[in-house]
Amino acid sequence: MQQKDRLHSDESARVAHGAMVEQLVKSIRGTDVTEVPFPHLIVDDILPVPVFDALVDDLPKPDSMPSAAEKGWASVAKYEGHRTSLFSELQVDNTGLWQAVEQALLDHEVEQAIIDRFLPWIPPSALERSLRREVRLDCTTAGAFFNPHTDHPASFMKQLIYLTPAEYDSSLDTLLYSPRDSARRLRELGPSQDFQADEYRHESPEAHREAGRVKHRPNRMFVFLRSVRSLHGFGPLQCSAPRYVIAVHRQFASPDDEAEAVKEPASELLKRGDESAPAGRIPRE
């Protein structure tokens, strides 16, 4: 029996979950945060190889996933060639595997390990705010790009795990940016020196310079705290194969969220020892 077939059973999914949590936590704790141009973490071989290989073998077809325009994201950027689905919406054969991966990525030990690494840069007030969490699969195709952007100001933290393609092309890299004129940019953002929720947008490449890059590598994880400085983007993609990325979103819950959608703050997870972090809907990045 092939490895990916063994991962179909409930028992194997539980074993896979435990192995993933153990490897995620160990890898995150063993990696230092890079501060420039904004605090971020890069971890290689983040998922166990049998799990990673099984995910790649079970990727959905791009046209089975809704486009970003269908999700209503076109107001903040040009999302041509970008598709995204919640894990629960994916049209895949091995649903148990994808569920196990989602549960592992949202596990309280994993979130605690990440927060511990970023704690020096997290305002104490942010730890007390309720969070919503979700895991998506993003798919982008040739010609797609994201201009410099920080993610929505409601975002707390983002994890990206690169899946495919296996063949490297520099256009796949995640680019990290710094403003050419930081003082002017902050003045233009107004007194808050950050985007307001209804004014959030992607920014002009001409106003920024490349300050680093996260080289595309399958099974590599890139994690960052969202701030007014967390400028990143990619493309235009020049590869023929689709670029699949797992995206874990942690976003501050708004006062208008329905009661069942408001999830516990990160500070509570730091106190817990035996449960997984809950998930919730997040509108856009």
Distance CA 128, CA 271 (A): 12
Contact 231, 39 (CB under 8 A): no
**For the ranges 15-24, 147-156, 262-271, the one whose mean pLDDT is highest:** 147-156
Give domain limits for the chain.
Answer: 46-269
Report which DSSP code applies to 97: H
- Residue 273, amino acid: G
H or E segment to which residue 108 belongs: helix 108-118
pLDDT tens per residue, range 226-277 = 999 999 999 899 988 999 999 999 999 877 654 444 456 665 655 544 444 4
CATH architecture of the domain covering 46-269:
Sandwich (2.60)
What's the confidence (pLDDT) of residue 275?
44
- Phi and psi for 277 in degrees, rounded to 5? -70, 140
Mean pLDDT along residues 199-228: 95
Quick check: 187 pLDDT over 70? yes
For the record, the structure tokens of 155 come out as: 């975002």
3-state SS track over 15-82 = HHHHHHHHHHHHHHHCCCCECCCCCEEEEECCCCHHHHHHHHHCCCCHHHCCECCCCCCCCCCCCCCE
Question: For residue 13, what are the contacts with CB-CB under 8 A and spacing of at least 6?
Answer: 7, 96, 97, 99, 100
Question: For residue 148, what are the contacts with CB-CB under 8 A and spacing of at least 6?
Answer: 175, 177, 202, 203, 204, 205, 207, 208, 231, 232, 233
Quick check: 102 pLDDT over 80? yes
What's the confidence (pLDDT) of residue 266?
66
Question: For residue 256, what are the contacts with CB-CB under 8 A and spacing of at least 6?
Answer: none
Report which DSSP code applies to 180: S
Contact 133, 115 (CB under 8 A): no
**What's the predicted TM-score (pTM) here?**
0.87
Quick check: 35 pLDDT over 60? yes
- DSSP letter string over 121-170? GS-HHHHTSEEEEEEEEEEE-TT--EEEE---TTEEEEEEEEEE-SS--G
Distance CA 19, CA 47 (A): 9
